[in-house]
Structure 1
Amino acid sequence: MAFARPTGKHRAPNRLTRRTATFAGAAALATTGVVGTLAAPAMAAEAAAPAVDTTGLTQTIVIGDSLAAHVDAQAAAQKHEAATAKAAAKAKAEAKAKAEAKAKKAREAKAKAEAKAKQEREAKERAAREAERKRLNAYVAPITGSYVSTGYKTGGSLWSSGSHTGIDFHAASGTSVHAVGAGTVVEAGWGGAYGNNVVIKMNDGTYTQYGHLSSIGVSVGSAVTSGQQIGLSGATGNVTGPHLHFEARTTAEYGSDIDPVAYLRSHGVNV
Structure 2
Amino acid sequence: MAFTRATGKHRRPGRMHRTTARAAGVAALATSGVVGTLAAPALAAEPAPEQTGLTPVVTLGDSVAEQIDAQAAAQRLAAEEAAAERAAEEAARRQAAEAAEKAVQKARENKERAAREAERKRLTAYVAPISASYVSTAYRASSGLWSSGSHTGIDFHAASGTPVHAVGAGTVVEAGWGGAYGNQVVIKMLDGTYTQYGHLSSIEVSVGQSVTPGQRIGLSGSTGNTTGAHLHFEARTSPEYGSDIDPVAYLRSHGVDV
- What TM-score range do you get, normalising by the shorter chain? 0.7 to 0.9
Aligned match of 1:232: 219
Aligned match of 2:82: 95
Query: What runs of 5+ residues in structure 1 fail to find an aligned partner?
Result: 1-49
Q: 1:184 to 1:66 in 2, by over 3 A?
A: same
2:9 to 45, 51, 64: 51
1:65, CA displacement in angstroms?
Answer: 5.6
Q: Which aligned pairs between 1:74-223 and structure 2 lie closer than 5 A?
A: 75-223=62-210
Q: 1:62 to 1:102 in 2, by over 3 A?
A: closer
What is the TM-score when the length of structure 1 is the normalising length?
0.74
CA distance in 2, matches of 1:173, 1:74: 116
Q: Deviations over 1:41-89 (max 9, x none)?
A: xxxxxxxxx92369xxxx9998756545665555544433332222222
Q: CA RMSD in A?
A: 2.3
CA distance in 1, matches of 2:23, 2:185: 122
Aligned match of 1:46: none
Question: Secondary structure of the residue that 2:167 maps to in structure 1?
Answer: coil
1:172 alignment partner AA: A
Q: 1:241 to 1:117 in 2, by over 3 A?
A: same
Question: Secondary structure of the residue that 1:164 maps to in structure 2?
Answer: coil
1:269, CA displacement in angstroms?
Answer: 0.7
Question: Secondary structure of the residue that 2:74 maps to in structure 1?
Answer: helix
CA distance in 2, matches of 1:249, 1:94: 80
Q: 1:142 to 1:108 in 2, by over 3 A?
A: same
1:169, CA displacement in angstroms?
Answer: 0.5
2:66 alignment partner AA: K
Q: Percent identity?
A: 65
Q: 1:161 to 1:91 in 2, by over 3 A?
A: same
Question: Secondary structure of the residue that 1:247 maps to in structure 2?
Answer: strand
Larger mean Cα displacement after TM superposition, 184-193 or 108-117: 108-117
1:151 alignment partner AA: A
CA distance in 2, matches of 1:189, 1:247: 16
1:52 alignment partner AA: H
Aligned match of 1:244: 231
Q: Deviations over 1:127-150 (max 9, x none)?
A: 211111111011111011111010
Q: 1:61 to 1:262 in 2, by over 3 A?
A: closer
Aligned match of 2:50: none
What is the TM-score when the length of structure 2 is the normalising length?
0.77
How many pairs does the alignment contain?
A: 218
Q: Deviations over 1:237-260 (max 9, x none)?
A: 111111100000010001111110
Larger mean Cα displacement after TM superposition, 210-219 or 95-104: 95-104
Give the structure with higher Rg (CA): 1
Aligned match of 2:40: none
Question: Secondary structure of the residue that 1:97 maps to in structure 2?
Answer: helix
